[in-house]
Amino acid sequence: MLERDRAIVEPLLEPGELLVEAAPVDLAPGVPQPPAELLTPRRPSALEQRIAAPFGVLRKAYAVFNPVGAAVGAVEDRLQDAVPDSLVHGQGLAGGWAGSAGQLVVGMHEAGARSGGLLALTDRRLVLLADRAKLWQLTPEHVVHWSAPYHRLAALRRHPKGVLQRGRLDLHFPDGSWLGLVTPRPAAAEELAAAFAHHRG
């Protein structure tokens, strides 16, 4: 566990709770985007719209001055949208959106926590922290996004796949659902899985 991760997690724990392991995680490639009907429609704030406006102008200017490049980019985007990540990277989610894993993924998208989170194991539970800082904020603003005691979880298993998922873990729930997570350091994945197995019994 890196000291910077410890410094983020420990102030957010319950009184008397002990941190065992922590590492940054993202949803694994192959975890699909939840259907739009499961997500709450979100209207960007006035500040977000002002920040995004120049990028829209740049995209239009690029299309005018380089129409071939813009067309190729549009085709590539459509091809990527047409081919599910699971065909390229393997399955990343099982149990459907009604399962515990699917509900967690929906919640992560709702909270903007699908990337850049911290997974922490304590002596009591598994905790997922999310950085709620806005794009223009210079410092992270971590909060506890989700947590579950060990008896509400089935397993946290190592599942390395290829180059992009050497640090992959699959989080399994008692209802049979599971989702893939990746951490940038394969050694951290080993440490998280071992600590989970020890505390889950």
At residue 62, does pLDDT exceed 60? no
Mean pLDDT, rounded, for 62-85: 51
The pLDDT of 71-90, averaged and rounded, is: 49
Q: Bigger pLDDT: 59 or 129?
A: 129
**In this model, does residue 75 exceed pLDDT 60?**
no
Dump pLDDT digits (tens) for 4-33. 999 999 999 999 999 999 999 989 888 888
Q: pLDDT at position 83, please? A: 44
Of residues 190 and 70, more confidently modeled: 190
| Amino acid 87: pLDDT | 43
What's this model's pTM, rounded to 2 decimal places? 0.75
| 135-146 mean pLDDT | 79
Examine the pLDDT at 148 and tell me if it is beyond 80: yes
The answer to whether residue 44 scores a pLDDT higher than 80 is no
> By mean pLDDT, which of 78-92, 121-135, 151-165 is the weakest?
78-92
Residue by residue, DSSP assigns the chain as: --HHHHHHHGGGSPTT--EEEEEEEEEPTTPPPPPGGGS---PPPHHHHHHHHHHHHHHHHHHHH-HHHHHHHHHHHHHHHHS-HHHHH---EESTTTSHHHHHHHHHHHTT-SSSEEEEEESSEEEEEEE---TT-SS--EEEEEEEEGGG--EEEE--BTTTBTTEEEEE-TTS-EEEEE-S-HHHHHHHHHHHHHHH-
Angle between helices 46-65 and 67-82 (to 10 degrees): 120
Q: How high is the pLDDT of residue 130? A: 87
Question: In this model, does residue 82 exceed pLDDT 80?
Answer: no
Check whether 178 has a pLDDT greater than 70: yes
Give the range with max mean pLDDT: 66-80, 131-145, 168-182: 168-182
pLDDT greater at residue 53 or residue 83: 53
Asked if the model's pLDDT at residue 70 lies above 80, the reply is no
